[in-house]
A and B are shown apart, each in its own frame.
Chain A
Amino acid sequence: MRRLSFLVAASLLLSGATVAGYGLVQGPDWTEEELALVRSLSLEALPPLPPDPSNRVADDQAATELGRALFFDTRLSANSEVACASCHLPERQFQDDLPLGQGVGTTGRRTMPIAGMAYAPFLFWDGRKDSLWAQALGPLESPVEHGGDRAQYAHLVTEYYADEYEAVFGPLPDLGGLPSHASPVANPEAAAAWDALPEPLRAAVNSVFANMGKAIAAYERTILPPETRFDAWVASEDFPEAGLLSKDEIAGLRLFLGEGECVNCHNGPLLTDNHFHNTGVPSVPGLPEDTGRLDGARLVIEDEFNCLGSYSDAAPEDCAELRFMAEPGHDALRAFKTPSLRGAATRPPYMHAGQIGTLDEVLAHYATAPEALDGHSELRPLDLSQEEREQLSAFLKSLEPKASDRDHIAEALSPSESP
């Protein structure tokens, strides 16, 4: 396919087909269509937060406060040192600037920023979760992240958050007879303890665990991408002339929409198509094989906490993403979720395991479009001059909050006192 497109492009060049005729690439004037495309990338185009029918407390204020406390609580871990916020640092766009996350151990992928992810139909680099609340349960029981187990967490909630929990979800279940550690997915001892539990107790623990996720999700829904210089420019009177954005940054935007074809995948106000693509990013030596979406698609279907499962508050017909999920084919092998590019310029390293260190190297990757070692890369090589790379990079840097807004944002996102 790639070779074919390349041949087509080459034969067009040879036959003297004109490239310059199309305004996006070179012309100084914008067509209405192009202006609409630019506006579609701005925060003004962000629709209201979609409801989450699988989480009945998604927009509940008390649940949000409980979730905020849980997000920052290091007691929810094997060593009392790891909270969600240990890796998702509010003052660092809810990520950690590391190639791989550091919790009780080291993760196999890079920590993802969280802002605006309530808009995402699938979570994680491989999309193995279909809601924020189901997602939150993963790290809590991952042996390299929080390292705890659901029985431990049910006890902790009963001990420290009983009032807050009951105000949102109603009476806590009777956990009499529940050992301190038990879970179907944690270590072998906890798994054995889980197998020994009577079914009603398992269901009770699962529902407390799921509700913790639902409270955390309610908090995460309030984490939205801040306005950037790019957004302010689109909303300004200067638009589409230079002003809040420089001529170079605007030239970069044109490349982003035009020759670079970045907007194919990085589209909409969050600059992601919410889909999964193999872009030929190499795997990391020493890490277990990562098939990306290929396994992620299977895992989300199997997940007991998915939209169709018994802990979901949704009716089956509300679970459109699962019902109409594409059967993963060869395309899914080493396909990863398109990340939002808001704020990306200031949070290296890049890609799903931090494989690429700098923005310049990211652009070099897109220019050469290396063949994927596993699966097939969707990219085609780009002929970008040094100047054009700098312009693209300049545009990406305009997707940052205005300097004056940054402190204010960090302050608004800090934890409240935990009970």
Chain B
Amino acid sequence: MPFIRSRRAFLIGLPLGLAAVATGAMAFMMRPPSDLDLSLAKASVAGLYVAAMAPVQEPVTVGPMHAWVVTLQDAQGLPVDGAAIHVDGGMPQHGHGLPTAPAVTEALGEGQYLVEGMRFNMGGWWEIDLAIEGTPGSDAVTFNLVL
């Protein structure tokens, strides 16, 4: 699967030039790149899905564990049920992954899935990677979040 699991591998694989551009604003503060796509709904990498993520409770804060709802549609905009979703992620600027192992615990129907066990233990830029296996095929999507 082309989906990249390891944050470290991802960062090392990233051309330095790109990294320098992406980190233009952070200096010692490790500020997230200013042009980060923060939208929580987007097409997956190969365009097989449109995926969205929304926290069950707002605001999302550093510290407590919280749940999210992932919504999947196919390219035609129809809900995708019965997909397997693997959740991963981490902090690209710190080189570490998620502190917990969040997982889909319930299929809610209408293309919606409950993800529990998510925690962010630091402020800053987080990536959430979803690896999706469903009838449309295998694909991946990455969301950015700044806390």
Residues of A within 8 A of B (CB): 1-2, 4-5, 7-9, 11-12, 15, 17-19, 22, 24-25, 37, 40, 258-259, 261, 263-265, 267-268, 273-275, 320-321, 323-327, 329, 331, 378
- Verify A258–B95 contact, CB threshold 8 A: no
Residue numbers in A under 8 Å from B56 (CB-CB): none
The answer to whether A264 and B29 touch (CB under 8 A), given A326-B100, A331-B96, is no
A268-B62, A323-B117 given; name 4 further pairs at CB < 8 Å.
Answer: A1-B12, A5-B93, A40-B62, A273-B63
Residue numbers in A under 8 Å from B100 (CB-CB): 324-326
The answer to whether the Cβ of B24 comes within 8 Å of any Cβ in the partner chain is yes
Q: Can you list 23 A-B contacts with CB-CB less than 8 angstroms, sorted by A residue number?
A: A1-B8, A4-B16, A8-B16, A12-B20, A12-B24, A22-B31, A24-B29, A25-B29, A258-B29, A259-B28, A264-B122, A264-B123, A265-B122, A267-B63, A267-B123, A273-B99, A273-B121, A275-B99, A275-B121, A320-B65, A324-B103, A325-B100, A331-B97
> Which of B16, B23, B117 contacts A320, CB < 8 Å?
B117
- Contacting A at CB under 8 A, from B104-131, are 116-117, 119, 121-124
Residue numbers in B under 8 Å from A258 (CB-CB): 28-29
Q: Write the B73-104 contact mask toward A (1 if CB under 8 angstroms, else 0).
A: 00000000000000000000111111111110
Residue numbers in A under 8 Å from B62 (CB-CB): 40, 267-268, 273
Residue numbers in A under 8 Å from B97 (CB-CB): 326, 329, 331
Least Cβ–Cβ distance between B9 and chain A, in angstroms: 10
Kindly state the separation between the CA atoms of A275 and B117 in the bound complex, as whole angstroms.
14
The answer to whether the Cβ of B46 comes within 8 Å of any Cβ in the partner chain is no
The answer to whether the Cβ of B40 comes within 8 Å of any Cβ in the partner chain is no
Residue numbers in A under 8 Å from B99 (CB-CB): 273, 275, 326
The answer to whether A4 and B19 touch (CB under 8 A), given A273-B121, A324-B101, is yes
Least Cβ–Cβ distance between B68 and chain A, in angstroms: 12
Kindly state the separation between the CA atoms of A366 and B122 in the bound complex, as whole angstroms.
18
Kindly state the separation between the CA atoms of A263 and B94 in the bound complex, as whole angstroms.
13
Kindly state the separation between the CA atoms of A331 and B29 in the bound complex, as whole angstroms.
23
- Verify B28–A324 contact, CB threshold 8 A: no
- Verify A12–B27 contact, CB threshold 8 A: yes
- Verify A7–B16 contact, CB threshold 8 A: yes
**In the A-B complex, the 10 residue pairs with the closest CB atoms:** A324-B117, A1-B95, A273-B121, A324-B100, A19-B27, A275-B121, A326-B101, A264-B122, A275-B99, A259-B28
The answer to whether the Cβ of B54 comes within 8 Å of any Cβ in the partner chain is no
User: Which chain A residue lies CB-closest to B8?
Assistant: A1
Residue numbers in B under 8 Å from A5 (CB-CB): 93, 95
The answer to whether the Cβ of B38 comes within 8 Å of any Cβ in the partner chain is no
Classify chain B's interface size.
20 to 34
- Verify A17–B117 contact, CB threshold 8 A: no
> Which of B24, B63, B123 contacts A17, CB < 8 Å?
B24
The answer to whether A268 and B16 touch (CB under 8 A), given A326-B100, A331-B97, is no
Least Cβ–Cβ distance between A277 and chain B, in angstroms: 8
> Which of B23, B27, B122 contacts A22, CB < 8 Å?
B27
- Verify A9–B28 contact, CB threshold 8 A: yes
- Verify A268–B63 contact, CB threshold 8 A: yes
- Verify B121–A274 contact, CB threshold 8 A: yes
Q: Interface majority SS on B: helix, strand, loop or mixed? A: loop
- Verify A378–B94 contact, CB threshold 8 A: yes
Least Cβ–Cβ distance between B4 and chain A, in angstroms: 15
Kindly state the separation between the CA atoms of A268 and B20 in the bound complex, as whole angstroms.
31
User: Which chain A residue lies CB-closest to B64?
Assistant: A47
Least Cβ–Cβ distance between B96 and chain A, in angstroms: 6
Least Cβ–Cβ distance between A370 and chain B, in angstroms: 17
- Verify B101–A327 contact, CB threshold 8 A: yes
- Verify A17–B27 contact, CB threshold 8 A: yes
Kindly state the separation between the CA atoms of A24 and B31 in the bound complex, as whole angstroms.
11
- Verify A8–B20 contact, CB threshold 8 A: yes
Residue numbers in B under 8 Å from A261 (CB-CB): 28, 30
Residue numbers in A under 8 Å from B11 (CB-CB): 1, 4
Least Cβ–Cβ distance between B6 and chain A, in angstroms: 9
Q: From B19, B65, B100, B102, name the one whose CB has the most chain A CB atoms within 10 angstroms.
A: B100
Least Cβ–Cβ distance between A331 and chain B, in angstroms: 6
Least Cβ–Cβ distance between B93 and chain A, in angstroms: 7
> Which of A12, A274, A327, A331 contacts B23, CB < 8 Å?
A12
Kindly state the separation between the CA atoms of A284 and B44 in the bound complex, as whole angstroms.
49
- Verify B95–A378 contact, CB threshold 8 A: yes
Kindly state the separation between the CA atoms of A404 and B74 in the bound complex, as whole angstroms.
65
Kindly state the separation between the CA atoms of A5 and B7 in the bound complex, as whole angstroms.
14
Kindly state the separation between the CA atoms of A325 and B19 in the bound complex, as whole angstroms.
31
Least Cβ–Cβ distance between B69 and chain A, in angstroms: 16
Kindly state the separation between the CA atoms of A363 and B144 in the bound complex, as whole angstroms.
33
- Verify B24–A25 contact, CB threshold 8 A: no
> Which of B8, B12, B29, B98 contacts A326, CB < 8 Å?
B98
Residue numbers in A under 8 Å from B93 (CB-CB): 5
Residue numbers in A under 8 Å from B102 (CB-CB): 324
Q: From A263, A267, A324, name the one whose CB has the most chain B CB atoms within 10 angstroms.
A: A324
